[in-house]
Amino acid sequence: MTVKTIEDLGDLRGRRVLVRSDLNVPLAGDPPNRTITDDGRIRASVPTIRALRDRGARVVVMAHLGRPKGQPDEKYSLAPVAKRLGELLGTSVAFAADVVGESARAVVAGLGEGEVALLENVRFDPRETSKVDAEREAFAEELAAFGDAFVSDGFGAVHRKHASVYDVARRLPHAAGQLVLDEVKVLRSLTENPERPYVVVLGGAKVSDKLGVIDNLLGTADRLVIGGGMAFTFLAAQGHEVGRSLLEEDQIETVRGYLQQAGDRIVLPVDVVAATAVSEDAEYSVVPVDAIPKDRMGVDIGPESARLFAEKLADARTAFWNGPMGVAEIPAFAKGTRAVAEALTRVDGLSVVGGGDSAAAVRALGFAEDAFGHISTGGGASLEYLEGKTLPGLAVLED
């Protein structure tokens, strides 16, 4: 991928630069007292915004938060994000109360050199995610009017053909921000001659979400370790009773084909934590995978599985992990996720935490970010890259 960098945009002093960042962070509480529970994505966006400020640009940041269904919803306002971004930058960040309306126009017009503004959630406008090209393009024209150049730095959104990601880039001189460049560099190292052994750990809820990446990785990875809710479809394909665990019955035949194709390169749990419910006060016990009670559900891998998974990662020179091993937000069901994270920190080579819930989990569990080679900001984007898909938000930057 050959793209321009910020340096290629020339002298930016006094010029307005539209930046598409990924500020889609988890929030707790009710408006107006919403609090950010993991600011990892905001911190990851700071270097590019700071670099533009240092070059004297007037920086206008665009981002989304959650899925507000194309209309304003206080629950998904970026106001708390503007405050935190300002704290991290060490300067006030002007916040527009709308996306392309009166407030946005006034805020952008009032920016001085080296100052930063954040527009309200772009998904408050239904045209941002529209499947109708003309609707997205009309919205992109209004956004592009706020900038003299565009910098794409929201890696977590580059797999989306959305107005602020794709269509704006077609209307302005454009470049990739440092975060996008770093992410692509790491993902290339996973897809182009990775050092071996190359071990991939996949978790999360659904097999169907990861069919494409499994297909692709079966041809490149030396081992594919499967945990989380998706493991139960694999266990069912082996003939095991999985009780009330997550199960995609319509994927059992597909999964059986993977098992036949890959043989012992696919590593599955040998024991699980089986609980009466997904709650902190649920009864639970560790059982072998061939003895899951019909009235219980798997909520984590068991201790033997944790040891097995760590063993399979022990000699890795390249390791990629996406998806928790269980219901990691409940401490009793987070031990498997912790074990995988610890094993990844010991990898003698490149270790990559593949964004989304995995990235949030390692921070929630108290791991230092520099204990891993790379923590991605884009779970879905990372997986689609590993599938070999063309990501619209990257393709549009190529010159």
Answer yes or no: is 342 a known binding residue: no
Answer yes or no: is 143 a known binding residue: no
Specify whether 206 is catalytic: yes
The C-alpha atoms of residue 184 and residue 376 are separated, in whole angstroms, by: 10
Catalytic residue among 177, 228, 380, 393: 380
Answer yes or no: is 326 a known binding residue: no
As given in the structure block, the two tokens for residue 217 are 């990785």
Residue with tokens 């730095």: 153
Answer yes or no: is 65 a known binding residue: yes
Answer yes or no: is 98 a known binding residue: no
Answer yes or no: is 196 a known binding residue: no
Answer yes or no: is 374 a known binding residue: no
As given in the structure block, the two tokens for residue 396 are 């549009």
Answer yes or no: is 160 a known binding residue: yes
Specify whether 161 is catalytic: no
Catalytic residue among 43, 83, 84, 206: 206
**How distant, in Å, are the alpha carbons of 201, 269, 286, 295 from that of 333?**
18, 15, 11, 18
Residue 147 has φ and ψ, to the nearest 5°, of -135, 155
As given in the structure block, the two tokens for residue 244 are 């009330």
Residue with tokens 């139960």: 232
The answer to whether residues 248 and 262 touch, using CB atoms and an 8 Å cutoff, is no
Catalytic residue among 356, 373, 378, 379: 356
Catalytic residue among 16, 41, 136, 312: 41
Of the candidates 63, 77, 68, 64, which has an alpha carbon nearest to the alpha carbon of residue 32? 77
Answer yes or no: is 24 a known binding residue: yes
The answer to whether residues 392 and 160 touch, using CB atoms and an 8 Å cutoff, is yes
The answer to whether residues 302 and 250 touch, using CB atoms and an 8 Å cutoff, is no
Answer yes or no: is 210 a known binding residue: yes
Answer yes or no: is 133 a known binding residue: no
Q: What is the 3-state secondary structure (H, E, C) of 267-328?
A: ECCCEEEEECCCCCCCCEEEEECCCCCCCCEEEEECHHHHHHHHHHHCCCCEEEEECCCCCC
Return the number of other C-beta atoms located less than 10 Å from residue 272's C-beta. 33
Answer yes or no: is 83 a known binding residue: no
Answer yes or no: is 329 a known binding residue: yes
Of the candidates 227, 241, 235, 242, which has an alpha carbon nearest to the alpha carbon of residue 256? 235
Binding-site residue set for substrate:
22-24, 41, 64-67, 123, 160
Binding-site residue set for (2R)-3-phosphoglycerate:
41, 123, 160
Binding-site residue set:
22-24, 41, 64-67, 123, 160, 210, 298, 329, 355-358
Active site residues: 41, 206, 356, 380
